[in-house]
Chains A and B, each alone.
Chain A
Amino acid sequence: AQTVTQSQPEMSVQEAETVTLSCTYDTSESDYYLFWYKQPPSRQMILVIRQEAYKQQNATENRFSVNFQKAAKSFSLKISDSQLGDAAMYFCAMMLKAAGNKLTFGGGTRVLVKP
C-alpha cells in the first residue's frame, strides 16, 4: 500500500521570506503523479503544483517550486516570497497511474505567514 508522510504539522514564515515543506512517500510503483494541494480557511482544495514521476525536471508554478528526489522518495514544496494569502493547510498527495486517479494524501502542514 502506498503512504504519504508530512512530518511538519506547522510551519511559520515571515512575509516575503521562503519556506520549504517536506513530504516523503512510499510506493513500489514507478509511474505516478505527485501533487501539492492548498486548503485555505474556506476549505476549498486548490491544486498548487503537480509532478510526473518520469520527469526529472522539477515543476515550477510562479512562486511555488518542488524538489523531487525520486530515489529518496521525497517531494518538498518551496514557497518563495511568501504572501499573507499563502497561509493555509498544504497537503502532499500521490496518485498511482495503475490505480485509477485515486489520491492518497499526507496529513498536511499548516503554514502561518507573519506580516
Chain B
Amino acid sequence: DAGVIQSPRHEVTEMGQEVTLRCKPISGHNSLFWYRQTMMRGLELLIYFNNNVPIDDSGMPEDRFSAKMPNASFSTLKIQPSEPRDSAVYFCASSQTPGMGTGELFFGEGSRLTVL
C-alpha cells in the first residue's frame, strides 16, 4: 500500500490567499484526521471524519478553515483567507473504523505551509 498521500509537500503563499491541502487515505480506512503541528502548540487535532462524515471539528481554529471529504479516498483542508499565523505543518492521518484493528493512525508526510 502507498500509505497516506498528502499534497503539496511544501506551500508558500502570501497572506490573504486561499490554500488547499489534499489527502488520500489508505484504502479501506474509514477514519481520517487532520492535525496541525507548530512549535508553540505541538500537534493539535483539527477535525476528523468517520465514513466521510465530520465527527468532531472542535479543533478547527476559526471559520477561515474548512475541511471536506467528498468520498472515501479524498479529503481537503482549505484556508481562506490565509494568515501568517497559519504557518505550520499539516498532517493527514487515517485509521480503520474505531473499535476495529489496532487503533493505529497512519500519517502522511505532512504539508509544510508558509504564509508570508
Task: Point out residues on A near B: beta carbons under 8 Å.
Answer: 33, 35, 42-45, 47, 50, 91, 95, 97, 100-108
Task: Please measure, in the bound complex, the distance between the C-alpha atom of A44 and the C-alpha atom of B43, giving whole angstroms.
Answer: 13
Find out whether the CB atom of B103 lies under 8 angstroms from the CB atom of A97: yes
Find out whether the CB atom of B102 lies under 8 angstroms from the CB atom of A50: yes
Task: Point out residues on B near A: beta carbons under 8 Å.
Answer: 31, 33, 42-43, 45, 48, 50, 55-56, 89, 91, 93, 95-96, 98-99, 102-105, 107, 109-110, 112
Which of B31, B43, B45, B104 touches A35 (beta carbons < 8 Å)? B104
Find out whether the CB atom of A50 lies under 8 angstroms from the CB atom of B104: yes
Q: Which residue of A lies closest to B106 (CB)?
A: A47
Find out whether the CB atom of A100 lies under 8 angstroms from the CB atom of B107: no
Enumerate chain A residues within 8 angstroms of B48, measured Cβ to Cβ: 100-102
Enumerate chain A residues within 8 angstroms of B91, measured Cβ to Cβ: 45
Q: Which residue of A lies closest to B42 (CB)?
A: A107
Main secondary structure of the interface of A (DSSP, over half): strand
Find out whether the CB atom of B104 lies under 8 angstroms from the CB atom of A100: no
Enumerate chain B residues within 8 angstroms of A42, measured Cβ to Cβ: 109
Q: Which residue of B lies closest to A52 (CB)?
A: B103
Known: A47-B105, A95-B103, A100-B31. 12 other contacts (CB 8 A): A33-B102, A35-B104, A42-B109, A43-B110, A45-B107, A50-B102, A97-B103, A100-B48, A100-B55, A100-B98, A101-B95, A105-B42
Enumerate chain B residues within 8 angstroms of A43, measured Cβ to Cβ: 89, 109-110, 112
Task: Please measure, in the bound complex, the distance between the C-alpha atom of A103 and the C-alpha atom of B112, giving whole angstroms.
Answer: 21
Task: Please measure, in the bound complex, the distance between the C-alpha atom of A57 and the C-alpha atom of B108, giving whole angstroms.
Answer: 31
Task: Please measure, in the bound complex, the distance between the C-alpha atom of A102 and the C-alpha atom of B99, giving whole angstroms.
Answer: 12
Q: A43-B109, A45-B107, A50-B103 are in contact. Are A101 and B98 (CB under 8 A)?
A: yes
Q: A100-B31, A100-B48, A100-B55 are in contact. Are A44 and B42 (CB under 8 A)?
A: no
Find out whether the CB atom of B109 lies under 8 angstroms from the CB atom of A91: no
